[in-house]
Amino acid sequence: MIDSFSKFLSFEKRYSSHTIVSYLNDLNQFKSFYSITYGPIQWETVKHIHIRSWLAALASKGISNRSISRKLSSLQTFYKFLLRRGILEKNPLKKIIAPRIGKKLPYYLQESTVHELFTNDLFNKDFSGLRDRIVLELLYSTGMRRSELMNLEIHHIDLEKNLLKVLGKGGKERLIPFGHDLQSMLKNYLSKRHCIANSNNLIISDKGKKVYPKWIYNTVKKYLSLVTTAEKRGPHILRHSFATHLTNQGAELNAVKELLGHANLAATQIYTHNSIDKLKRIYEKAHPKG
């Protein structure tokens, strides 16, 4: 059943390999808990009390509500799959309530920090330095995800119209505009890249091969560490910064949603937090009773 579910996530839902691994890990964790506690698992005989005991065991180990909720979501998706396939008739999760999760505001860089990152001559003048700058520029200028950047190919870039075609979650395509400065950098980069390339991917290693997720993470962290001591210094902080700075400058939330590739507006609304803070400061400075 888990193998069939894995194929469903891959071929029908078109989830990324990383997401599928997370789902399968959660399912196998529950399966292992059930087998140790109650004996060999039969998915049709699992009851809500078994799931509740698993959640209690996770909580007793200090697992956060956010992680527990994610694991529960994996199990919920699996049972919905079994119900749709007619393999099961009842969903034991109907009586399960997910733990409450406090909304976590995203980390982001101040605009002054981003300015320092790109104006302080931190990047070498050779191919590697130019490529590293392109990595950070693309993440901040377009808000794309690390996986999207890693899989971005040369033919996805339109240097005439200053547009990128990005393949996002679930295989959904979206177009993202970029500025003239980035256009010039990309032209310069592409003119040097063809000498060492063994891949159609835009971002390549020094040996001309496709880069991997940890490489992008380490590259971003290396340069962000030069301008900030923030706890979060991975690629996603540049995505958060992109969205926060757009909303601060008055961009419509629906437009930011489309640029980020969010499925619904609720996911984008977390980026209004800083705009509200900004409005409060304006009010305090400008209003007689502020």
Active site (catalytic) residues:
145, 169, 236, 239, 262, 271
The string of DSSP codes covering 73-141 is HHHHHHHHHHHHTTS-S--GGGG--PPP-PPPPPP---HHHHHHHHHS--S-SSHHHHHHHHHHHHHHH
Give dist(CA 104, CA 100) in Å, integer: 12
Please give the structure tokens belonging to residue 44.
């049709």
Which of 5, 97, 96, 99 has its CA nearest to residue 43? 5
Task: Judge contact between 143 and 243, C-beta under 8 A.
Answer: yes
Instruction: Classify the C-alpha dihedral 279-283-284-285 as positive or negative.
Output: positive
Per the DSSP assignment, residues forming a β-bridge with 157 are 164
User: Would you state the structure tokens that stand for residue 49, as one six-digit string?
Assistant: 């009390």
**What is the distance in angstroms between the CA of the first residue and the CA of the last residue of the chain?**
61
Neighbours of 213 (CB within 10 A): 13
CB atoms under 10 Å from CB of 120, counted, come to: 10
